[in-house]
Amino acid sequence: MPSMKIFIADDHPIFRSGLKFLLETSFDSIQITEFDNGISLIEHCTNNEADIVIVDIDMPGKNGLEVCEALVTQGCKSKIIVLTMYKDLEMLKLAFYNGAKGYLVKDNTSEELVDCIQAVLADKNYMAKGIRDQEQLVDHDDVGKFKIAELLNSLTRTELKTLKLVSQKLSSKEIADLLFVSVKSVENYRSRICKKLNLDARNNSLLLWVVDNKKIIDSIK
């Protein structure tokens, strides 16, 4: 049976060493390659592929979310697991949106790490138990959902088109090219959308809103 290949990207050498030891004692046949930043990992994956890629979110060069997106964009077939200190549901949604298959926090047990690896190898999504509990609470909370249609109705046709393109993970430059307008115009559209949706335009609020409401956005004609 061939060895399982795992790439680890984390800028803390002590954590990488501990994770490597844990993996080597949990699996019989394994090859591990370590990286201390996201850029080196992306470059290595251009010509090399692993079964599993484990990335931290906070890293120099490119963060874990940017790494996920870059690997998916360049056609990497590795299953990506985000292993981080962030325990909030919003960060998990961003990780999955950018291509991760698994999401763990660094205080999870070794058994959960093994379960996560086995799940993503079987092409299943996996999230840490504590965050699964959060998701169940959110899934059963319908407060405010009836307002979404009303909010979308407040957008102009151009703003709706822009919102749909944002949901497709296109950059402002790509959206500008498709709408035959300037990048500055797209930024203005995004700003107006945020204002009408009561979102903070200075952070990831629009992207998080799009992730939460993608099914509704996809239904827009």
Mind listing the pLDDT tens digit for each residue in 155-201?
888 999 999 999 888 889 999 999 999 999 999 999 999 998 888 87
Nearby residues of 210 by Cβ (< 8 Å), 6 or more positions away: 163, 166, 167, 217
What's the CA gap between 204 and 209, in Å, rounded? 9
Per DSSP, 159 falls in state: H
Whole-model pTM: value is 0.67
3-state secondary structure of 102: strand
Q: What is the mean pLDDT of residues 99-118?
A: 91
* Cβ 33 vs Cβ 8: under 8 Å: yes
Question: If pLDDT is split at 50, 70 and 90, which confidence band does 218 have?
Answer: confident
pLDDT at residue 138, rounded to an integer? 47
Residue range 24-58, pLDDT digits in tens: 999 989 999 999 999 999 999 999 999 999 999 98
- Average of per-residue pLDDT across 6-15: 95
Q: What is the pLDDT of residue 153?
A: 72
Task: Domains for the chain: give ranges and CATH numbers.
Answer: 4-134 (3.40.50.2300), 145-218 (1.10.10.10)
